[in-house]
Amino acid sequence: MKTVLVTGGLGFIGSNFIRMLFGLARGLRVINLDKQTYAGNPENLAGLEKDERYQAVTGDIGDEGLVSRLLDENMPDTVVNFAAESHVDRSIDGPEPFIETNVLGTLRLLEASRKFFAELTPQEKESFRFLHVSTDEVYGSLGPEDPAFCEKTPYAPNSPYSASKAGADHLVRAYFHTYGFPVLTTNCSNNYGPFQFPEKLIPLMILNACEGKNLPLYGDGGNVRDWLHVEDHCSGIVAVLEKGRLGETYCIGGNSEKTNLQIVDAICALLDEKRPDGAPHVDLKTFVKDRPGHDRRYAIDCSKIKEEIGWEPRYSFEEGIAQTVDWYLDNSTWCENVTSGNYQRERLGIS
């Protein structure tokens, strides 16, 4: 990779990916196209603004003209698409933005990229890659004894969010088989780590516990997820870009199945040690009505990416959750700006 167009690079995973790229290669350039919705936080990449290797562009992947201009001006050899509406609860409350961004936006990004690719020299075409970042939620829900998801698992999305991501995945596949466009797809399990927006389970529980607020758990807290540290996810994407077979899908997981209840108990135990506050933090747990269509279990079989590419996660869950709790405790200003909305007011010039 020499020049990378990253979409959605101010979000949780995208910003971690950009930081990793700059740590891996000195001669790399990154153009970051981000719509700057509520989840796109410029503070996630604080310090890169003056780096000549980095260019931030505010815009929508659905703006095909803008994408085409960025491609023509910067001549990237890699496009990595993180841009997506991603919170299941929000998709239940309002599905339309998920279709607009995740389906139509991906379509327009693909179309602009395909046209750009068609004009490249044979040598440039040989090195060009378009990688689409997706989720294990497209595969639906597993029973307690079901084998983990793999690349051959049939799609069975159960929420508007996962349905929109499934639609995007199918479009990416179609562009390879119809046009010969050099795509790769990754489907990851639940991510956690630094810079995650606090509507998600782990940062929400850390911040609520620190403030003495309730720790709400859906249903009986028994929903199971395979937890993947964001740095492992990003290293998996890099590995797929470098060694993945064109047109293929690679599942990236953390080999760390945990119930939501186990996650919250682990966070509480760490906070009891690091921030003791009289009563144990587990006393803040509360159980709330389950959300509609709540998938019971996700798990990923990483055999393909391990056997073909040699990638596997580096973090154990115990190491990763301890590092994550420490990060949130050590970055109180970032947390305050996110939870208060100050980062958005600053962007909009609102005092």
Quote the CA–CA distance of 343 and 107 in Å, as a whole number: 30
Give the CA radius of gyration of the chain.
20
Q: Which of 43, 60, 136, 232 is catalytic?
A: 136
Residue 57 β-bridge partners = 33
Active site residue 295: no
- To the query of whether residue 161 is one of the catalytic residues in this protein, the response is yes
- Catalytic residue (one of 54, 161, 175, 328): 161
The question of whether 179 is a catalytic residue gets the answer no
Candidate list 64, 85, 137, 169, residue with the active-site label: 137
Active site residues: 136-137, 161
